[in-house]
Structure 1
Amino acid sequence: MIRAIILDDEVKGSTLLQHKLKNFSDRVCVEAIFNDPQEALKHIRDYTVDVLFLDVEMPLMNGFQFLEQLGQFDFEVIFVTAYNMYTLDALRADALDYLLKPVDPEELAKALDKLEKRVSAKAKLALSELPAVGASSQRIALPTAEGIHLIKKDEILRVEAMSNYSVFYVMNLSKIIVSKTLKEFEQQLEGSTFMRVNRSVIVNLDYVIKYRKGDGGTLELLDGAEIEVSPMKKIQLLERLFAS
């Protein structure tokens, strides 16, 4: 059963989404609803959930700022908003999905399908024998609103752009939102096992488990994420993945 939280500053919006999720009561359970992002920041860590349905435009704090304030979290994010003015590519880089209000039931069902696949992959990853991490591995400092996280570079699965933020996915299955662009981290991570495979994602190649052919191709990572590869990066990627 998928466990969910809804954050929408409009009571009407959160109530309507909850009503639509009841049509999938065999798949998802809404653990809590927040209509104030400040209240959500105080109490969201009291819950263990798989997904946050997050509004973008909210007074005082938008959805991006909420995630930055939260700092580190281990659930998926599905944006639910009345506005399509945001760059979908940027949003999808971090969000599992992006739903426009009023939410279409078929689109909601597709989002839940993707979510179940991701949750299943993360559960397998948590139970799997993870690659060994060296005690002397280099670390990177990630400043967030709640403090500075020191993360070993070889514990990073990937880094994805989200508007003017960067999202670090790490081996403990959590995510860390940093208010810096991907370009600012590219030099710190370049070389070694990291590679920028498109304009929005830097991947740790040690955690690639499958490459699917295509124009640029698609990478499947250990946590179930699927990353599109830029055609311009394809040859370089294949050389690094399959070098003898």
Structure 2
Amino acid sequence: MIRAVVLDDETKGSSLLAHKINALNESIEIVRIFNQPELALHEIKVIELDVLFLDVEMPKINGFEFLERLGSFDFEVIFVTAYNEYVLEALRANALDYLLKPVNPNELQIAIDKLKRRINQKNLIRKSNLLRENNNSSSKLALPTAEGIYFVRKTDIIKVVAMSNYSIFHLDENSSKIIVSKTLKEFESCLEDGNFLRVNRGSIVNLDFIVRYKKGDGGTLELVDGSEIEVSPSKKKLLLDKLYTQ
């Protein structure tokens, strides 16, 4: 059973959405409906849920501010709003879907189907202990994507670049790229045992693929794929120390 929570400051709107969800799918249980975002902030952390149906425009705290104040969470988010200008913000917030009010049953069903696929993927990872591949002793990383789970050798990773809440893995093999819906910070500890270094806020580089270091305030790295990565001045000494001890 998929456990869902609805947060919408309008009582009528939240009740109507819950009714539509229940009418469409018996595999989803609405465990709680909140009409006050402040109350939800205090109570949602102790609720075991898989998905939050979240309104955007709410008094005092909007949906994006709610997620920001909530901090870390492992459930999926589906925004439900009467306004269509927040799609980009929803993408940046790594939302699973974005539904416009009044919610169309067909679009709601598509979002639920997408939710089921995402949850099945998570369960597969947990049951198979695939994420253990991401510990420091492993030579591979398990990268869960919308298409499935990719296993890559750490030695094949040229660099990892941040893009909002996503991380783009650039691989040596066939110059391929893999986009993962996790932040760069979540991979930093997984790569610390290898020859990797976070050289700036948005880039982790495999030092084995450096072709040249160009001097500068922080300097610039030229990599085998032809790309250039700026080095943060605060990382310059650590980088040079690592390069000279190789």
User: Do both proteins adopt the same fold according to a TM-score greater than 0.5, normalized to the shorter chain?
Assistant: yes
- Structure 2 matches for 1:121-160, cutoff 5 A? 121-127=121-127, 128-129=129-130, 130-134=132-136
- Corresponding residue of 1:32: 32
Matched, 1:99 2:83: no
CA distance in 1, matches of 2:102, 2:136: 49
CA distance in 1, matches of 2:180, 2:121: 10
CA distance in 1, matches of 2:142, 2:167: 8
CA contact (8 A) 1:194 1:202 kept: no
Give 5+ residue unaligned stretches, structure 1.
136-153, 159-190, 212-216, 224-238
CA distance in 1, matches of 2:67, 2:142: 19
CA contact (8 A) 1:156 1:204 kept: no
Following TM superposition, by how much is the alpha carbon of 1:40 offset from its aligned partner in structure 2, in angstroms?
0.2
- Corresponding residue of 1:78: 78
CA contact (8 A) 2:168 2:180 kept: no
User: Is the alpha carbon distance of 1:41 and 1:203 closer, same or farther for their aligned partners in structure 2, counting shifts above 3 Å?
Assistant: same
CA contact (8 A) 1:157 1:204 kept: no
CA contact (8 A) 2:96 2:115 kept: yes
- Secondary structure at the aligned position of 1:9 is classed as coil
CA contact (8 A) 1:157 1:203 kept: no
CA distance in 1, matches of 2:56, 2:158: 36
- Corresponding residue of 1:205: 169
- Secondary structure at the aligned position of 1:3 is classed as strand
Q: Which runs of 4+ in 1 moved over 6 A?
A: 154-158
- Deviation string 1:168-198 (CA, Å, 9 cap, x unpaired) is xxxxxxxxxxxxxxxxxxxxxxx964124xx
User: Is the alpha carbon distance of 1:17 and 1:218 closer, same or farther for their aligned partners in structure 2, counting shifts above 3 Å?
Assistant: farther
CA contact (8 A) 2:133 2:141 kept: no
Aligned length: 164
Following TM superposition, by how much is the alpha carbon of 1:91 offset from its aligned partner in structure 2, in angstroms?
1.2
CA distance in 2, matches of 1:205, 1:3: 32
Matched, 1:90 2:89: yes
- Corresponding residue of 1:5: 5
- Corresponding residue of 2:161: 195
- Deviation string 1:62-113 (CA, Å, 9 cap, x unpaired) is 0011001110111000000011122x23313411000000000000000000
CA distance in 1, matches of 2:23, 2:126: 30
- Corresponding residue of 2:202: none
CA distance in 2, matches of 1:76, 1:131: 23
Identity rate of aligned residues, in percent?
A: 45
- Deviation string 1:121-140 (CA, Å, 9 cap, x unpaired) is 011112223224238xxxxx
User: Is the alpha carbon distance of 1:156 and 1:59 closer, same or farther for their aligned partners in structure 2, counting shifts above 3 Å?
Assistant: farther
CA distance in 2, matches of 1:200, 1:126: 25
- Corresponding residue of 1:53: 53
Amino acid at match of 1:36: Q
Amino acid at match of 1:51: V
Following TM superposition, by how much is the alpha carbon of 1:221 offset from its aligned partner in structure 2, in angstroms?
4.8
Superposed CA RMSD: 3.3
Following TM superposition, by how much is the alpha carbon of 1:25 offset from its aligned partner in structure 2, in angstroms?
3.9
CA distance in 2, matches of 1:12, 1:21: 14
CA distance in 2, matches of 1:204, 1:34: 36
CA distance in 1, matches of 2:2, 2:177: 27
User: Is the alpha carbon distance of 1:125 and 1:92 closer, same or farther for their aligned partners in structure 2, counting shifts above 3 Å?
Assistant: same
CA distance in 1, matches of 2:134, 2:90: 32
Greater relative contact order (Cα < 8 A, sep 6+): 1
CA contact (8 A) 2:133 2:142 kept: no
Following TM superposition, by how much is the alpha carbon of 1:155 offset from its aligned partner in structure 2, in angstroms?
9.5
